[in-house]
Amino acid sequence: MSQTDDNGPSLEEKKNCNWKDITKDFFELCQQLNVGELVHDVHFGLFEAMSAIEMMDPKMDAGMLCNQVKRKVYDFDEALKANIIKDDNLESEELIGIIDSTYACVVTWLEGHSLAQTVFTNLYLHNPEAIKDKTLKSFCTAILKTVDLIRDRINKASVFEEEDFQSVSYGFKMASEVPSAKVISSLREVEDEFAKKVRSTKDKGEDNETRAKQHELYSAIYSRIKFTRFLYATLLAFSKDKCSGVDDIEKYLNGILDVLLSMQSTIHLGIKPEERECGLHDYPTIMGFEPLVNQRLLPSTFPRYAKITSIEDTMKYLSDMCTRFKFITGVTKCTFLHQAMDFFEDFSKLSPCVLSRSLLHLLVFPINRRFFGNEPLVDVVRDTIRNFIAPPALVPKSSIGSNPDARAYCDAFLQRAANTILQLVNISGQNRARQREKLAHIFEELANLEAEADKLDTYLHRLLMKNSQGQTVVCFVTWVLYHVLKAMFNYLYLGFELELYSPQEYYYIYWYISELHCSWWIPTLSRADNFLMESEAMIETQSGKSAKKVRRQQKKKGKPHAKEVHTAQIHQMLCNAFLKALLGFIRAKKLELADGSSIAFDSEEVRFRRRFAPFQVLSSPQPMAYCHFTDTIDLQRYKPVPEPEHLFQAACKGFQHAKALIEQPPSNQTEQATALLRICKYNIVAMSVLSTGKKEYERPLFDFTVHKHYPIITLKN
Partner 1 sequence: MSTAVQESEDVIIPNGVEYTERKIGELNDYIIPQEPGNSNEENMIKNVYESEHDLDDEREDLKTETIESKLKKLEIDGDTEKRIRLKNYENEKDMPEIMRLITKDLSEPYSIYTYRYFIHNWPNLCFLAFDEDKCIGAIVCKLDWHKKIVHRGYIAMLAVDEDYRRRKIGSRLVIRAIQAMVLKGADEIVLETEVTNKSALNLYENLGFVRDKRLFRYYLNGIDALRLKLWIR
Positions touching partner 1 (CB under 8 A) are: 34-42, 45-47, 49-52, 54, 57, 59-60, 111-112, 161, 163-164, 302-305, 307, 431-434, 436-437, 498-502, 505, 589, 592, 594, 596-602, 606-607, 610-611, 696, 698
| Residues 224 and 269 sit within 8 Å (Cβ to Cβ) | no
**Residue whose CB is less far from partner 1, 6 or 698:** 698
- Whole-number Cα distances in Å, 387 to 415, 424, 545, 556, 702: 17, 19, 22, 19, 40
**Residue whose CB is less far from partner 1, 18 or 597:** 597
**Residue whose CB is less far from partner 1, 202 or 589:** 589
Helix axes 134-157, 180-200, angle to 10 degrees: 140
CB of 51 to partner 1, least distance (A): 8
DSSP symbol at 518: I
**What is the rounded CA–CA span in Å between residue 378 and residue 370?**
9
| Residues 293 and 71 sit within 8 Å (Cβ to Cβ) | no
Nearest to 158 by CA among 426, 363, 360, 422: 426
CB of 111 to partner 1, least distance (A): 8
CB of 320 to partner 1, least distance (A): 18
CB of 189 to partner 1, least distance (A): 40
CB of 602 to partner 1, least distance (A): 3
CB of 352 to partner 1, least distance (A): 13
∠ CA(381), CA(382), CA(383), 5° rounding? 90
Helix axes 562-587, 522-542, angle to 10 degrees: 160
- Whole-number Cα distances in Å, 594 to 79, 373, 640: 64, 53, 27
**What is the rounded CA–CA span in Å between residue 93 and residue 90?**
8
Nearest to 428 by CA among 338, 339, 345: 345
**Residue whose CB is less far from partner 1, 316 or 607:** 607
What number of other Cβ atoms are within 10 A of residue 636's Cβ?
6
CB of 491 to partner 1, least distance (A): 12
| Residues 714 and 683 sit within 8 Å (Cβ to Cβ) | no
**Residue whose CB is less far from partner 1, 559 or 611:** 611
**Residue whose CB is less far from partner 1, 309 or 420:** 309
CB of 53 to partner 1, least distance (A): 9
Nearest to 249 by CA among 374, 109, 359, 139: 359
If residue 703 lies in a helix (H) or strand (E), which one and from where to where? strand 699-703
**Residue whose CB is less far from partner 1, 412 or 625:** 625
**Residue whose CB is less far from partner 1, 606 or 625:** 606
CB of 104 to partner 1, least distance (A): 16
Nearest to 499 by CA among 686, 277, 704: 704
Q: How far is CA 570 from the centre of its chain?
A: 26
**Residue whose CB is less far from partner 1, 460 or 582:** 582
Report the amino acid identity of residue 455.
K
Prior bond to 621 cis, omega within 30?
Answer: yes
**Residue whose CB is less far from partner 1, 203 or 595:** 595
Please list the residues that pair with 700 across neighbouring strands.
Answer: 715
Report the amino acid identity of residue 452.
E
**What is the rounded CA–CA span in Å between residue 92 and residue 190?**
13
CB of 307 to partner 1, least distance (A): 8
**What is the rounded CA–CA span in Å between residue 153 and residue 450?**
34
Cβ neighbours for 557, distance < 8 A, ≥ 6 positions apart: none
- Whole-number Cα distances in Å, 229 to 193, 293, 584: 14, 28, 60
Query: Phi and psi (nearest 5°) for 715?
Result: -115, 135
CB of 596 to partner 1, least distance (A): 7
**What is the rounded CA–CA span in Å between residue 235 and residue 686?**
49
**What is the rounded CA–CA span in Å between residue 523 and residue 525?**
5
What b/e readout covers 230-248, taking b as 16+ CB neighbours within 10 angstroms? bbbbbbbbbbeeebebbee
CB of 295 to partner 1, least distance (A): 16
**Residue whose CB is less far from partner 1, 261 or 701:** 701
CB of 167 to partner 1, least distance (A): 16
**What is the rounded CA–CA span in Å between residue 707 and residue 714?**
14
Return the SS3 of 276: coil
| Residues 653 and 688 sit within 8 Å (Cβ to Cβ) | no
**Residue whose CB is less far from partner 1, 65 or 195:** 65
- Measured in residues, the chain has a length of 717
**Residue whose CB is less far from partner 1, 5 or 37:** 37
CB of 496 to partner 1, least distance (A): 11
CB of 696 to partner 1, least distance (A): 5
**Residue whose CB is less far from partner 1, 61 or 192:** 61
CB of 444 to partner 1, least distance (A): 15
**Residue whose CB is less far from partner 1, 152 or 437:** 437
**Residue whose CB is less far from partner 1, 204 or 716:** 716
Q: How far is CA 305 from the centre of its chain?
A: 22
**What is the rounded CA–CA span in Å between residue 668 and residue 708?**
19
CB of 40 to partner 1, least distance (A): 6
**Residue whose CB is less far from partner 1, 19 or 47:** 47
Query: Phi and psi (nearest 5°) for 22?
Result: -115, 10
| Residues 175 and 370 sit within 8 Å (Cβ to Cβ) | no
Burial of 672 (0-12, 13-18, 19+ CB in 10 A): middle
